[in-house]
Structure 1
Amino acid sequence: MLKIKNYSTLKLNKRLALLFAYVFTTLGLAAQPAPEQGYFMFPIKPGVRNYLSGSMGEIRATHFHGGLDIKTDQREGLSVYAAADGYISRVKMSTYGYGNIIYVTHPNGLTTTYSHLLAFYDPLADYVLKKQYEKETFELELFPEKNLFPVKKGQIIALSGNTGGSGGPHLHFEIRDAEDRLYNPLRWGFKEVIDTTPPDLLGLGIQPLNIHARINGEFARREFTPKKTNGVHTLPDTVFAHGLIGFELQTIDRYDDTQNRNGTQDVTVFVNDKQVYNHHIDRVPFELSKQVSQHVNYNVYRRTGRTFQKAYVDYGNDLPLYTAPHNRGRLNVQADSIYHIRLVAKDTYNNASTLTFVLKGQKPTFMQTANGKVTKPQLSYEIIGNILKVSASDTSSTPRNVEMVVNNQRLMLVPSYTKGAASVSLYDLRGGLPESLEYCGTSTLLDLQATIPSGQEHSFSNRDMTIRFEKESLYDTLYLQAKKEGDVYTIGDFYTPLHKAIKVTITPSTPVTDKSKAAVYYLGLGKGRGMLGGVWDGNSITFSARAMGKFQVLEDVKAPTIKLLSKSPTQIKFRIGDNLSGVNSFRCEVNGKWLLMKYEHKTATIYSEKLDKSLPLSGRVVLKVKDNAGNEAEFVTTI
């Protein structure tokens, strides 16, 4: 009989034997032996058709999706089966992330993981529950001795659930090796999943990659919507370009009879029938998964939510997914040359969709346009890669130069081309950071503070802050903007990714009443605030940030909230919350003895589970909840 309980997250035991020997190069992977078909059983409703809501390599906000999200009929409690013989090598109960998770290590050296579980099978459930009471904690990670919990292929080991960071009931299923490399489970040939549907090609992006680049006459990223006719994707018009450019593709995959927007694993680019680029998302090292921010156009993703995968290898990208031996997949377009471009997107089942178009090299020319609609001078600028792009317009019929001050020297920016009423000038920031732009008698100050190189340690200080960049903090050169407005500190922007964290020291101008309750918070684009913490040294506080954007020191002086939802001799249930820093810990005692409380953050509820089910809950109940600022609330009741 299946009893059941909890379980959680992911990170593999380094001592397990390695099955496949990987030879990584800077641009690709060595050939791998084919997986043994039939070795693994499908973990949900084996032998019956199943459906996926998530696939391997799918683009997520901070990582590549590392396995399969298997649908569970929109409910919890389906039987979860061991995919092959082995033993349970790891189990974890966690409020976030993978929730309750089981790791099963197999004789072939691979490990399968089963996440977001509702409950464990009987021997493991009892073992975990006793350990939770022994250590008096809900969140727990255990590494049982080998063969303490042996399992057979097809054995029920858990019930599916919705714990952790799950957005709905499903089973997250992964296959890993001893090096924590994530494999595409569909390579093992599960017949329960049917896919004869080719990927959808939703958009093409073309990015300028040097100062000479133009796309349809402009130095600007351009997007195109493919037109599909009789299964063939094309662009309706010829694209004109010049200089160094890179392609980006927005593509999704759909499994048969579902509407979920899943990931496409393979993209290849051909130029005049010669392959110049390929990426294949089939094996992702766990520790490199966050480099998804360099695999996609991060700026576009953060601004629009659309995932354009780069079809070239960007600087700072160490993912072993690529084959791009010439120019990292970039195309250097020559004037008057014709290029027949073909992009092919494939899913795991080799269903393919192709986009073809003609690109023609066009030498940049300066075309003067009338400025009749302009009533007063206008000036704007943006940074694209290493290039400062300045757009200027006024009432004159002849485009004027923009004056720029660099290292106290005045330079003239001559227009490179015109667009509508504006003349556009380009400047390579590697020549020095400009301090201001002057146009038609007005001056615009630029807040570019410093050039921060990637690949080396670097410190920056101004009167408001000190920032320490580690060797791996940046993917590419950063032209730093750092300022303080009121009590808000801005470092870079929300649209530029960090590879590794930076360390920042600030001295708030507004007096802090109680430093023990004060910490640095990350301010999202909306009303969201995430506590980063920090260490005080006198009136200064130092904190680590994994993303650039806006930061503020805030004090949390309010205790958490506690609301009793139900109580009985069988179970007691509360809703808990906090207004700012978030819940840090909770402890419930009945007559002075610790009682296990399980936490479901999605509903902000905690509920009890007794060690001895035969003994009723009875007596004085005391619940204490502490937030991350150290404020504590207490609730007392009786059963």
Structure 2
Amino acid sequence: MKLPILLFFLSAFCYSQSQEYPKNYFRSPLDIPLYASGSFGELRGNHFHSGLDLKTQQREGLKVFAVADGYVSRIKISEGGYGKALYITHPNGFTSVYGHLKKFNGAIADFVRKRQYAEKSYEIEIFPLSDELKITKDQIVAFSGNSGSSGGPHLHFEIRDSKTEQIINPMFFGFDIQMPDTKAPVINDLVAYAIGDSSVVNSSQRTIPVNLSLQSDGSYLANKVFAKGNIGFGVNTYDLSDNNFNWNGIYKAETFLNGSRLFKYEFEKFAFDETRYINNFIDYYRYKTIKQSIQKLFFKRNYPFSLVSGNKQSGQISVLPNQTWSYRVEVSDFHGNKRVINVPIHYSDAAATIPKEEKKTPYFVKSGNDNNYTKDNVSVFIPENAFYDDFYMNFEVKENVLYLHDETVPVHKNLTVTFDVSEIPNLNREKTFISRMDGNKPEYFTTYKKGNLFSIRAKDLGKFLLMTDTVAPKIYRPNFSEGSSLDKADSLSIHMRDELSGIKEYNGYLNGKWILMEYDFKTKSLTHYFSEAVYDEGKNELKVVVSDKMGNSTIFETHFFKTKNQSSVEKTN
């Protein structure tokens, strides 16, 4: 009886595993062939990509379908991020997400418009009740667009666990069948790391490239690596797919030492509060200095990122005398297409001819501790685990400017930067904030003011200074001339910008009534659609008020003429 019982439990286990992610439950959100311009887990600035970016044939306005029955559980409209985004919760425990939309459809659009006018705000976030906006599979819920921080027309699509809100790779739900792929990932670079003060790899204590040669079977063979002490490797790689020229992220990486698995990660799912760990997952210094994205195949110390924290070993290799090692790297896409790198490793006692590059300063940051530094009128508080590693930090204050190391060291938690302004004469305190210079561009930070102390919270190092903004925003270039007829126009638009602290608030009014104006931060434009039917027959007075984050405001006023029965939008709607 033992064997049948064992087989029963094995089959039950396999069944439960295969049913964890239903393969045929969700339909495609688009009715065109699916090609991804961005993959799940792909490396992005300060985060991993949380879904699939689906191509929309370089255009907007494609129908977006509900992938299954459910109800709209969240609607968010923001200037950046996902722009216009829709969340549908399904009865099977998952939530689908649709981002960068052009507009919503039907009852959803009416629901959103009503709330925007009630709140007098373009940006809104709504959490409808389960019986307010019920959805059926195949229903057209929206139209694809380019809203938010999208770099071009596409549909951002996610699937999340409704309870945990973890993001799950949509490929697990059968989308891999709709997106065939027979191409293996591409290897651009392999680099080696000497980990620790006494380690050396190929005569270097710094990160060093390893030459690769392509073999007849499609694998790569690395030049012999001569090392001592603890070393590690990193790989620069991307994936290709059929009929698609985009360079997307890989799904899985594994390493093996003498045939035994050493390290592994695969992009199945992760939580949003983990996503900033990308800055420890990659070689951040190399990314910032030469724009090369190296995925590290080891860690110096374990960190709570679920994709790597399950490894029992660190991925490091301890190279000892009188031994040789066969190290193998395998990178794969979701379809199982694989690329292999074989690396022969030999012990060498040779001294480093390229020493470690480390400048010692009086400020040694122990990343596991709280740290507080003060000089002149500036102080910096660094909470424990704000950094991933210990390091010598540059900390200098000159003429009320803080030079806090540089952007090559990643920050995981907020640092608190405080300026004491009591000794600064003639300071316009109401209009002054703390800024960080991003290159030559000032970056605004919300500044908390308590007496003479001005403070901000920041997740980047660099140059910080006080800046005063007394200049109001600019409102310019309307798409019509004053007094003109807009009978044939479906919308009116105007541009706005602020050179320093940035736009905080904008409001448009027609004949004294608040109107919805959609803001596109990429073009710096505000657009009002006449389909809102807020305008009057004949003459209409337009007023736009824009304020920046320091309270400086500009008012723009003009007028136009409009005949209701000639509105092209109303005819089409």
Please indicate, yes or no, whether the TM-score normalized by the shorter chain is above 0.5. Answer: yes
Q: Confirm whether residue 524 of structure 1 aligns to residue 445 of structure 2.
A: no
Q: Confirm whether residue 550 of structure 1 aligns to residue 463 of structure 2.
A: yes
Corresponding position of 1:620: 541
Alignment match of 2:518 (pick from 576, 582, 598): 598
- Deviation, 1:65, is 0.2
Amino acid at match of 1:484: V
Corresponding position of 1:51: 35
Using the alignment, how far apart are the partners of 1:125 and 1:288 within structure 2? 33
Corresponding position of 1:298: 284
Is the alpha carbon distance of 1:470 and 1:33 closer, same or farther for their aligned partners in structure 2, counting shifts above 3 Å? farther
- Deviation, 1:619, is 2.9
Q: Confirm whether residue 515 of structure 1 aligns to residue 429 of structure 2.
A: yes
Structure 1: state its 5+ residue gaps: 1-29, 366-416, 428-445
Amino acid at match of 1:583: I
Q: Confirm whether residue 133 of structure 1 aligns to residue 117 of structure 2.
A: yes
**Is 1:232–1:355's contact at 8 Å kept on the other side of the alignment?**
no
Using the alignment, how far apart are the partners of 1:329 and 1:290 within structure 2? 21
Deviations 1:100-146 (A, max 9, x none): 00000001111000000011111110111111111111100111111
Query: What is the DSSP-based 3-state SS (H/G/I as helix, E as strand, rest coil) of the residue aligned with 2:249?
Result: coil
Amino acid at match of 1:507: D
Amino acid at match of 1:531: Y
TM-score, with length taken from structure 2 = 0.89
Output the aligned Cα RMSD: 2.2
Corresponding position of 1:561: 474
Using the alignment, how far apart are the partners of 1:335 and 1:542 within structure 2? 54
Q: Tell me which moved more, 458-467 or 316-325.
A: 316-325
Using the alignment, how far apart are the partners of 2:454 and 2:396 within structure 1? 17
**Is 2:378–2:417's contact at 8 Å kept on the other side of the alignment?**
yes
Using the alignment, how far apart are the partners of 2:210 and 2:379 within structure 1? 42
- Deviation, 1:327, is 3.9
Query: What is the DSSP-based 3-state SS (H/G/I as helix, E as strand, rest coil) of the residue aligned with 2:101?
Result: coil
Alignment match of 2:126 (pick from 119, 137, 142): 142
Using the alignment, how far apart are the partners of 1:426 and 1:132 within structure 2? 55
Structure 2: state its 5+ residue gaps: 1-15, 481-485, 561-573
Alignment match of 2:55 (pick from 71, 84, 87): 71
Query: What is the DSSP-based 3-state SS (H/G/I as helix, E as strand, rest coil) of the residue aligned with 2:306?
Result: coil
- Deviation, 1:313, is 2.9
Deviations 1:548-579 (A, max 9, x none): 11112111111100014224365331100011
Query: What is the DSSP-based 3-state SS (H/G/I as helix, E as strand, rest coil) of the residue aligned with 2:314?
Result: helix
Alignment match of 2:236 (pick from 246, 250, 256): 250
Percent identity between matched residues is 29
**Is 1:38–1:189's contact at 8 Å kept on the other side of the alignment?**
yes
- Deviation, 1:608, is 1.1
Deviations 1:567-619 (A, max 9, x none): 43653311000111111111111222111111011100001135752854743
**Is 2:297–2:315's contact at 8 Å kept on the other side of the alignment?**
yes
Amino acid at match of 1:315: R
Using the alignment, how far apart are the partners of 2:187 and 2:392 within structure 1? 34
Alignment match of 2:319 (pick from 303, 322, 333): 333
The number of aligned residues is 534
Query: What is the DSSP-based 3-state SS (H/G/I as helix, E as strand, rest coil) of the residue aligned with 2:147?
Result: coil
Corresponding position of 1:357: 343
Using the alignment, how far apart are the partners of 2:110 and 2:78 within structure 1? 17
Corresponding position of 2:503: 583
Corresponding position of 1:176: 160
Q: Confirm whether residue 230 of structure 1 aligns to residue 216 of structure 2.
A: yes
Corresponding position of 1:470: 383
- Deviation, 1:180, is 1.7
**Is 2:263–2:313's contact at 8 Å kept on the other side of the alignment?**
no
Is the alpha carbon distance of 1:593 and 1:459 closer, same or farther for their aligned partners in structure 2, counting shifts above 3 Å? same
Using the alignment, how far apart are the partners of 1:39 and 1:71 within structure 2? 22
Q: Tell me which moved more, 131-140 or 500-509.
A: 500-509
Q: Tell me which moved more, 245-254 or 321-330.
A: 321-330
Corresponding position of 2:44: 60
Corresponding position of 1:454: 367
Amino acid at match of 1:552: L
- Deviation, 1:342, is 0.6
Using the alignment, how far apart are the partners of 2:468 and 2:240 within structure 1? 47
Amino acid at match of 1:364: A
Is the alpha carbon distance of 1:418 and 1:252 closer, same or farther for their aligned partners in structure 2, counting shifts above 3 Å? closer
Using the alignment, how far apart are the partners of 1:590 and 1:324 within structure 2? 59
Using the alignment, how far apart are the partners of 1:573 and 1:549 within structure 2? 38
Is the alpha carbon distance of 1:201 and 1:323 closer, same or farther for their aligned partners in structure 2, counting shifts above 3 Å? farther
Is the alpha carbon distance of 1:331 and 1:31 closer, same or farther for their aligned partners in structure 2, counting shifts above 3 Å? farther
Using the alignment, how far apart are the partners of 1:560 and 1:246 within structure 2? 51
Using the alignment, how far apart are the partners of 1:512 and 1:316 within structure 2? 50
- Deviation, 1:512, is 5.1
Corresponding position of 2:97: 113
Amino acid at match of 2:326: H
Deviations 1:310-337 (A, max 9, x none): 1113436311113765541111111231
TM-score, with length taken from structure 1 = 0.80
**Which is helix-richer, 1 or 2?**
2
Q: Tell me which moved more, 112-121 or 235-244.
A: 235-244
Using the alignment, how far apart are the partners of 1:136 and 1:610 within structure 2? 17
Deviations 1:268-292 (A, max 9, x none): 0011111110011110111111111
